[in-house]
Amino acid sequence: MSKVMIVTGASRGIGAAIARRAAKEGYAVAVNYVSSKADADKVVAEITGAGGKAVAIQADVSKEADVIRLFKETDEKLGRVDALINNAGIVVRMCRADSMTAEILEKIFAANVFSVFYCTREALKRMSTKNGGKGGAIIQMSSAAARHGGLPEESHYAASKGALDSMVAALAREVGTEGVRVIGVRPGLITTEIHNAHGGQALLDKAGPTVPIGRAGRPEEVAEVVVWLTTDAASYIHGTMIDVSGGR
């Protein structure tokens, strides 16, 4: 039977690339999305068209009840999860700290941090040997912004990703002896629609050449690393952050 992976926010961008790459690795993939049903269906069709297994599951991972349903639907449609990729994330919008609003903070921490705690909890119930599971891997999608502060007027985004870096270190100690590996991945500047929040393609064209490697990255370059981290080839990588950021 195929191993099962849940990728949150897999309708486009980095998540979609992870879902496609994971299916090639033999995973049956739960392609989660919040509103882009057509895009998620397209990712599923690409995977199944190539002989893989995938289902699209709508769930707003910032909402606890939706996350519980996402995992239940995955249990029913694909089986118990072996790998969880907490990829869904948002910028909301640019805002200096001296104008920060409760609305922005609530939105970003719900989508980027609370979601990761909800999904991690549901995964651990199924993966941890302490809970009767057979182990697994959990990847938290952080950002190089957690290290260097990110783009201007996005302290809310950088801080939400910094929370994940701390969580990786703490969680690794909790579950390392229960068969569950926890790793954080910090992409740098990657060409996706997330940048529509602060300049889109023009921003990517301007910032790309300033990255030490001389360009923005592709979603597939992140996906390759993420999927590898879930495999036995990475069996001793745990409780650490992996930068996929072209040197930035």
Active site residues: 157
Residue 190 sits in the site that holds ligand NAP (CB under 6 A): yes
Q: Which is nearer to ligand NAP, 177 or 196 (CB)?
A: 196
Structure tokens at 219: 């979603």
Residue 28 sits in the site that holds ligand NAP (CB under 6 A): no
Residue 52 sits in the site that holds ligand NAP (CB under 6 A): no
Residue 244 sits in the site that holds ligand NAP (CB under 6 A): no
Residue 141 sits in the site that holds ligand NAP (CB under 6 A): yes
Out of 36, 74, 128, 230, name the contact with ligand NAP by CB under 6 A: 36
Angstrom distance (rounded) from CA 167 to CA 19? 24
Stretch of residues binding ligand NAP (CB under 6 A), selected from 33-41, 74-82, 206-214, 229-237: 33-41
Structure tokens at 60: 């707003």
86-115 binders of ligand NAP (CB under 6 A) = 87-90, 111
Out of 128, 187, 227, 238, name the contact with ligand NAP by CB under 6 A: 187
| Residue 53 one-letter amino acid | K
Which residues here bind ligand NAP, judged by CB under 6 A?
8-15, 32-36, 39, 60-62, 87-90, 111, 141, 143, 187, 189-190, 192-194
